[in-house]
Amino acid sequence: MSDQLASYQSIGKAYAAHSTVNHLSKEYARGPVHNNTAESFGALIERAKQGVFHYMSRKHTRRYLDEISFRWDHRRREEKWTRAGIKKILMRPLPVMDLLRAVLSRAAGRVLQRTTEGSVVDKQYPLLPNPLPSFCR
């Protein structure tokens, strides 16, 4: 789902169910069709660039986006009512220990190693019978 920006149109052709809203005619949502999620994710990327990474190299763009996606996928939904009686949905980060459990559950069998040239290589090893530490089970 997106608005009618030309670059979104070409990307949307790769998906079977790509719908758009027309902001020029003041259409911002049509039932389940809106682009708020895409704009929120884009804003999260910008906040991470400004506040966490400060610089995002082209070479490691996939790693930056993997981390941002991980944060996006590991949020909890909270409902809040404003003083005017309007229901708002807030997405909050998970507590640190829950994030650590999630990270460790994906790290089993993987190792980051430095090469002699100074770069980092992501190696994958066969999983052990019990890959998770006891506090993660």
* Residue 34 φ then ψ, to 5°: -160, 170
In a domain, 109, yes or no: no
In a domain, 133, yes or no: no
In a domain, 58, yes or no: no
Highest-confidence range of 27-31, 60-64, 107-111, 123-127, by mean pLDDT?
A: 60-64
**CA atoms within 13 A of residue 6's CA, in its CB half-sphere:** 0
Residue 125 — very low, low, confident or very high, per pLDDT cuts 50/70/90? Answer: low
In a domain, 8, yes or no: yes
Q: What is the pLDDT of residues 108-123, one digit of tens each?
A: 777 777 888 877 777 7
Residue 86 — very low, low, confident or very high, per pLDDT cuts 50/70/90? Answer: very high
Residue 79 — very low, low, confident or very high, per pLDDT cuts 50/70/90? Answer: very high
In a domain, 7, yes or no: yes
Distance CA 116, CA 120 (A): 9
- Among 134, 131, 130, smallest CA distance to 107 is for 131
Domain hosting 27: range is 1-34
In a domain, 50, yes or no: no
Q: What is the pLDDT of residues 49-75, one digit of tens each?
A: 998 888 888 988 898 999 899 888 888
pLDDT at 127: 55
Structurally, the chain folds into a number of domains equal to 1
8 Å CB contact between 30 and 1: no
pLDDT higher than 70, residue 136: no
Residue 35 — very low, low, confident or very high, per pLDDT cuts 50/70/90? Answer: confident
Distance CA 40, CA 90 (A): 12
Distance CA 109, CA 114 (A): 17
pTM of this structure:
0.60
